[in-house]
Amino acid sequence: MYLDMHSHSVSSDDSRATVEQYLKWIQVLRKRGHVVDGIVLTEHRKFDYDKDYAALANQYDVVVLKGSELDTRYGHVLVYGVTEPLTKDIDFGNVAMDTRELLKAARQHGAYAVPAHPGRFGIGLTEYIQQGEIFDDVHIVERLNGGSRKGENERAWELCDDKGYLGVGGSDAHLTSHICTCLTRFEAKISNEADLVEALLSEQFQPVWLEDTTNNPTSE
């Protein structure tokens, strides 16, 4: 199944897209022949315990999962399978937190943390690795990011090849029409956040462009 692993709704301070607008746009993508099964809302520096998108997900037949994107000392990190103990252990608003602490805490609390857009100039994980920082607990990074500028996804690709990291894909959408520009193809069926963490641990996935989800993919 195909999931957009990185998106922001109006719950984030810098997005103007509602969840329903995303789900309506996905209907358009489906009519165009693309296969899109779900999205993960990774709101900035927070986790929305109070948000329930089950009715919308059911109405539009799209899996809607919740995660977070945290700012850390060594770049942004996507967190999947967020649990209450994790939010008590980690200050989600602390932009100076050590990425390594987050990676460890996520696993301790049943979640999984994935460095976002590692090839991003000035802020991606690549920059810090080049400065000599070591991240032993990184195994998966966001290899395809829909918000990347020229050269940034290529740097992420090189990082994966160099370090042996696995990669996921996400649109990083902040606007309706940007949703699902990049996705992740999973072998497993995923219907909730726990399934997603299991699927990441299974290592049976790969990043894809939206165009790759048609019956006649442009590239693999």
Query: Is residue 122 close enough to count as binding other proteins by CB under 8 A?
Result: yes
Q: How far apart are CA 187 and CA 196, in angstroms?
A: 11
Picking from 178, 170, 192, the residue whose alpha carbon sits closest to that of residue 54 is 192
- Of 91 and 187, the one with the shorter C-beta distance to other proteins is 91
Query: Is residue 45 close enough to count as binding other proteins by CB under 8 A?
Result: yes
- Of 85 and 93, the one with the shorter C-beta distance to other proteins is 93
How big is the chain, counted in residues?
A: 220
Query: Is residue 76 close enough to count as binding other proteins by CB under 8 A?
Result: yes
- Of 55 and 96, the one with the shorter C-beta distance to other proteins is 96
Contact at 8 Å (CB) between 47 and 68?
Answer: yes
Q: Is 131 exposed, middle or buried (0-12, 13-18, 19+ CB in 10 A)?
A: exposed
Query: Is residue 11 close enough to count as binding other proteins by CB under 8 A?
Result: no
Number of Cβ within 10 Å of residue 196's Cβ equals 25
Output the smallest distance, CB 137 to other proteins, in A: 18
Span interacting with other proteins, options 17-25, 70-78, 156-164, 209-217, rule CB under 8 A: 70-78
Span interacting with other proteins, options 22-30, 90-98, 107-115, 163-171, rule CB under 8 A: 90-98
Picking from 102, 104, 105, 135, the residue whose alpha carbon sits closest to that of residue 118 is 135
Among 54, 55, 96, 134, binds other proteins (CB under 8 A): 96
- Of 56 and 175, the one with the shorter C-beta distance to other proteins is 175
* CA end-to-end distance (rounded Å), the chain: 15
Among 6, 44, 155, 174, binds other proteins (CB under 8 A): 44
- Using the Cα atoms of residue 218, residue 185, residue 128 and residue 73 in order, give the sign of their dihedral: positive
Residues in binding contact with other proteins, number by CB under 8 A: 17
Residue 32's contacts (CB-CB under 8 Å, 6 or more residues apart) are none
Query: Is residue 100 close enough to count as binding other proteins by CB under 8 A?
Result: no
Q: Can you give the binding site for other proteins, defined by CB under 8 A?
A: 13, 44-45, 71, 75-76, 90-91, 93-97, 120-123
